[in-house]
Each structure stands twice: as structure tokens, then as C-alpha cells.
């Protein structure tokens, strides 16, 4: 069978050609012809590598380029972030090694045997728990997204890739204990209204969590996608507040101080408040509102005329995604995308739309609608209300411009 054998149906021929091209990219074009069926590739001529023992499995060496994305020109790395490579991921779960990071004082190296969680303040029985104590409580696993509220800021939506623009979001299956269970063990006093969580990092990051959230779906998690949390994600223990801004999900958790008032910490006064056009600031803006982005095709990719599956992710801190609409004509018309099941509460939802590009320059974009009926706003509609002084909670539609040569670029740039 040769590539130009006209007896192969068009679709088969396309697959044969792409397979040969993919092998060529990997093995070097010299061997691609021999490796393609009916040839016998080198890797079939002798047994492969031994079963892995005493090692942590890693992706194929041909995938070594797939890493987190650290902004260029970073001045220092301890208060910094890295982004998840959204354009290269499929499905809704973020692999642990590619989960976005945001640290204010670097990543502490915590010995779980020495780590302790103190629960005090307005409680009947102050507690100091070991990790073993915490793992004895009844556990739960849930898939939830986590997003930094500075994803992206308002003024410079400058990046090139989906990761540059919106890579401070990820999604995992988290396992831990309900915060309510642990608080009940300590016994809440009637004046209790807030729980102030503190991390064991050099930043001692501190956030106040309203009691209602603590008694609802809040978790203290120790595992992520089936294994212990990564150091970057708060090993050995973190707060997980489904749908709430990333900053409140305190990592390396060492203290819960039950109080009548919030702490008014740095992270809820000078930072993580939203300066409005009239000079007042919104404070305690906890919930992440509905958002979506097309991850393929997206910035820096190049497409050819013809069939494409448009795909991307949508999420909302208010519950489930009800629908995602996609425009392929710069916003003149919007079509309903297909939502991949399962559509989970406060998790990423994958959407898809079949599209045939006719080769003329255009702009594509997605907008999410959540189960409350809230619609992801355009940048114009969002900033008409919020202005441009604010930094956090930009959930505007992300447009991708497609040029005549098929190059996909940031529609804001
Ligand atoms: N102790 C502590 N918790 C923290 C932070 C931190 O620097 N220290 N960063 C916060 C911020 S701003 C975000 S967006 C999330 C990031 O979580 P991740 O690094 O697991 O993605 O953790 C939050 N919890
Ligand atoms: Mo954040």
C-alpha cells in the first residue's frame, strides 16, 4: 500500500499519511518510510526496555518538551507562578506534574512526620493533629478545578498561547476529609463566624474563610489524582474550597484559627481585592465566575483549510456548566458546542465543535453559560462594569485570530 494508492478511501489515506508524518517527526525522515506499515520499525525487532522498578514513571522521552510554562524574564522565582500547558492537554484532568503553581514564598520541604495542624480559637477543644490523625477521619474524593483569580490580569492580556493567557487553572481529583468533620471534632463555639487558615511556607499565607463554606463542601486534602499532594500543591495538607479563588486554597496548612471576624490579612486587603472605577474596592470576592477558552486551535498553532475539531475547557465556581457557545465568525453567530460527559460540579468541562475552515481570516472564541444562567462576558462588557484598575477576576471571552496563512494568534494583542 503506498500513500498515493487511489484504492484507499480518502479518510484512510489521510490517516496513513499523518501516521507516516508523525513517525517521521519522531524517528527522523530517513527511517519513516521503513517504519511505516507494512515495514517493520526498529522498535519491533528486539524486546523493549525492562519493567520499571523502584522508579517513578515518566512520560515518553519524545514528550520531554511538555512542561509547565514559566513567564519569560522572571526576576525571582519564590513569589512567582507557572502555568499549565492547556493547549497540549486533553480531557479534564491536569497531570500532577503539569498543574499550575503559584507560590508567595517558595515551596517548603515539609516532613509529614513532623508536620502538625493546630485548630484553635473559638472551639471547645483545641487540637493539634498529625497527618496520621488526619488520615483517620472519613475521607472523600472529588474532581474540582482550581484557578488563580489573577488569570489573567486586565491591562496586559499579552501572551501568545492558551497557557500564557489562562494557564493559571487546573483540575484534579482531590482526596481528603471534610473541613466540617475536623471542626466538629474541635467543637465550634456559638460566636464562630470565620476560620482563618495559615500555611507553613515562608509567606505564612493567611486567608479567612466564611464559616458557611467551611461547613459546606470545604476539604482538607492530602491527595491529588490518586497520589499524595505534590510539594508544589501543598504537601502534605492543603485547604480545597471548590469554586473559590485559588488564593484561599491555603497550601502547606498548619493552622485553623476559628474567629468571629476575618483576619484582614495582606491577601484580603492590599491584594485580592478589586479596585472599581469609583475608587471603592470589592473585597472577599470568593467565587470564580464562569469562564472558557478554546485550547485547540489556539495561539501559535497553525491550521490548514478544511476540517477541524474546535475543543476547549469551561468551568464555573457556581456549580455545573450548562452550555458553551462557539463563534467562528468573529462573534456574528454562536453555535452550541457538545459538552463531554461527565459534566461535573465545579470541575473543568471539555467542549467540542466540528468546524470546516474555508481559509478566510476570521476570529474564533467560546463563551460559557453556567447552571445559574450566568453568561461569560466579553471583555468590553466586563470592563464597562469593573473598569481597568482592577487586577483580579478577569473572566472575559478569549478571542483567537486566524490569519490567511492559518496562523492562530491572541485576539487581544
Ligand atoms: N501557603 C500558601 N498557600 C497558597 C499560596 C501560597 O503562596 N502559600 N498561593 C495561593 C495562590 S495565590 C493560589 S492561586 C493557589 C495556587 O495553588 P497551586 O500552586 O496548587 O496551583 O494556592 C494558594 N495557596
Ligand atoms: Mo493566586
250 lines ligand 1 (CB under 6 A): yes
**Residue 86, ligand 1, Cβ within 6 A:** no
* Residue closest by Cα to atom 2 of ligand 1: 251
pLDDT at 10: 45
Q: What is the pLDDT of residue 253?
A: 99
| Ligand 1 within 6 A of CB of 244 | no
Residue among 77, 98, 103 whose CB has most ligand 1 atoms within 8 A, to mutate: 103
Residue 206 C-alpha from the chain's centroid = 22
- CA-CA distance, 18 to 12, in Å (whole number)? 10
Q: Are 251 and 199 in contact (CB under 8 A)?
A: yes
Measured from the Cβ of residue 242, the count of other Cβ atoms closer than 10 Å reads: 22
**pLDDT for residue 60:** 96
For ligand 1, whether the C-beta of 205 sits within 6 Å is: yes
Strand partners, 178: 219
In the chain, what's the furthest Cα-to-Cα distance? 80
Tally of CB atoms within 10 A around 282: 13
100 lines ligand 1 (CB under 6 A): yes
Beta-strand runs (E) in 260-396 = 274-275, 281-282, 291-296, 306-315, 321-327, 335-336, 338-339, 349-357, 362-370
Residue of 372, 371, 413, 376 lying closest to 393 (CA atoms): 376
Among protein residues, the one with the nearest Cα to ligand 1's atom 23 is: 247
Q: Please answer whether residues 119 and 126 qualify as being in contact, where contact means their C-beta atoms are separated by less than 8 angstroms.
A: yes
Q: What does the pLDDT read at residue 351?
A: 99
d(CA 115, CA 129): 9
* Alpha carbon nearest to ligand 1 atom 1, residue: 199
Query: CA angle at residue 249 from 347 to 315, to 5 degrees?
Result: 20
| Ligand 1 atom closest to 233 (CA) | 20
**132: enclosing H helix or E strand:** helix 131-136
User: Could you tell me which CATH number the domain at 80-277 has?
Assistant: 3.90.420.10
**And the C-alpha cell for 175?**
482526596
Q: Which ligand is nearest to the CA of 235?
A: 1
Site of grid cell 469554586: 243
**CA 277 → CA 154, 172, 348, 397, distances in Å?**
13, 36, 31, 21
Nearest-angstrom CA–CA distance, 253 and 207 = 11
| Domain boundaries defined on the chain | 80-277, 291-410
What local confidence, expressed as pLDDT, does residue 74 receive?
A: 86
Overall pTM surpassing 0.85 (yes/no): yes
Q: Is 265 in the pocket of ligand 1 (CB under 6 A)?
A: no
In order along its 413 residues, the chain shows pLDDT tens digits of 333 333 444 444 444 444 444 444 444 444 788 889 999 999 999 999 999 878 999 999 999 999 999 988 888 889 999 999 999 999 999 999 999 999 999 999 999 999 999 999 999 999 999 999 999 999 999 999 999 999 998 887 889 999 999 999 999 999 999 999 999 999 999 999 999 999 999 999 999 999 999 999 999 999 999 999 999 999 999 999 999 999 999 999 999 999 999 999 999 999 999 999 999 999 999 999 999 999 999 999 999 999 999 999 999 999 999 999 999 999 999 999 999 999 999 999 999 999 999 999 999 999 999 999 999 999 999 999 999 998 999 999 999 999 999 999 999 98
| Size (the chain), residues | 413
Whole-number Å distance, alpha carbon 111 to ligand 2 midpoint, is 25
User: Quick one: pLDDT at residue 19?
Assistant: 45
* Gap between the Cα atoms of 390 and 382, Å rounded: 11
Question: Residue 285 has what DSSP assignment?
Answer: -
Inter-residue contact 12 to 37 (CB < 8 Å): no
Residue with the nearest Cα to atom 8 of ligand 1? 205
Atom of ligand 1 nearest to the CA of 148: 14
Q: Which CATH architecture has domain 291-410?
A: Sandwich (2.60)
Residues at Cβ < 5 Å from ligand 2 ion: 102, 148, 246-247
Which pLDDT value is given to residue 413?
Answer: 87
Beta strands in 69-116 (DSSP E): 80-82, 101-103
Amino acid at each position: 500500500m503506498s500513500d498515493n494508492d487511489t484504492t484507499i478511501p480518502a479518510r484512510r489515506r489521510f490517516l496513513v499519511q499523518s501516521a507516516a508524518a508523525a513517525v517521521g517527526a519522531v524517528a527522523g525522515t530517513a527511517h519513516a518510510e521503513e517504519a511505516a506499515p507494512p515495514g517493520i520499525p526498529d522498535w519491533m525487532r528486539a524486546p523493549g526496555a525492562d519493567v520499571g522498578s523502584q522508579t517513578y514513571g515518566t512520560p515518553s522521552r519524545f514528550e520531554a518538551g511538555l512542561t509547565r510554562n514559566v513567564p519569560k524574564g522572571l526576576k525571582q522565582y519564590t513569589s512567582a507562578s507557572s502555568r499549565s500547558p492547556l493547549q497540549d492537554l486533553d480531557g479534564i484532568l491536569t497531570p500532577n506534574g503539569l498543574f499550575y503553581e503559584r507560590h508567595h514564598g517558595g515551596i517548603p520541604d515539609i516532613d509529614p512526620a513532623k508536620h502538625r495542624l493546630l485548630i484553635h480559637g473559638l472551639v471547645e477543644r483545641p487540637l493539634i493533629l498529625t497527618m496520621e490523625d488526619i488520615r483517620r477521619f472519613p475521607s472523600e474524593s472529588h474532581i474540582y478545578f482550581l484557578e488563580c483569580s489573577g488569570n489573567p490580569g486586565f491591562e496586559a492580556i499579552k501572551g501568545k498561547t492558551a497557557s500564557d493567557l489562562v494557564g493559571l487553572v487546573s483540575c484534579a481529583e482531590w482526596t481528603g476529609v471534610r473541613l466540617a468533620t475536623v471542626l466538629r471534632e474541635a467543637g465550634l463555639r456559638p460566636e464562630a463566624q470565620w476560620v482563618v487558615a495559615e500555611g507553613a511556607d515562608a509567606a505564612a499565607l493567611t486567608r479567612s474563610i466564611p464559616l458557611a463554606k467551611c461547613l459546606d463542601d470545604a476539604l482538607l486534602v492530602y491527595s491529588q489524582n490518586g497520589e499524595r499532594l505534590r510539594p508544589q500543591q501543598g504537601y502534605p495538607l492543603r485547604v480545597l474550597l471548590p469554586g473559590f479563588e485559588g488564593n484561599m486554597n491555603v497550601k502547606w496548612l498548619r493552622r485553623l484559627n476559628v474567629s468571629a471576624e476575618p483576619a484582614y490579612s495582606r491577601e484580603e486587603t492590599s491584594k485580592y481585592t478589586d479596585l472599581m472605577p469609583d475608587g471603592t474596592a470589592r473585597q472577599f470576592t470568593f467565587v470564580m465566575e464562569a469562564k472558557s477558552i478554546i485550547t485547540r486551535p489556539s495561539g501559535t498553532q497553525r491550521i490548514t483549510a478544511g476540517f477541524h475539531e474546535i475543543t476547549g475547557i469551561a468551568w464555573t465556581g457556581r456549580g455545573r456548566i450548562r452550555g458553551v457557545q462557539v463563534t467562528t465568525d468573529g462573534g456574528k453567530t454562536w453555535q452550541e458546542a457538545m459538552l463531554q460527559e461527565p459534566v461535573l460540579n465545579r470541575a473543568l468541562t471539555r467542549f467540542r465543535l466540528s468546524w470546516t475552515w474555508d481559509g478566510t481570516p476570521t476570529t474564533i472564541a467560546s463563551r460559557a453559560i453556567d447552571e445559574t444562567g450566568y453568561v461569560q462576558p466579553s471583555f468590553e462588557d466586563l470592563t464597562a462594569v469593573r473598569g481597568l484598575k482592577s487586577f483580579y477576576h478577569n473572566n472575559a471571552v478569549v478571542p483567537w485570530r486566524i490569519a490567511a496563512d492559518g496562523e492562530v494568534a491572541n485576539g487581544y494583542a
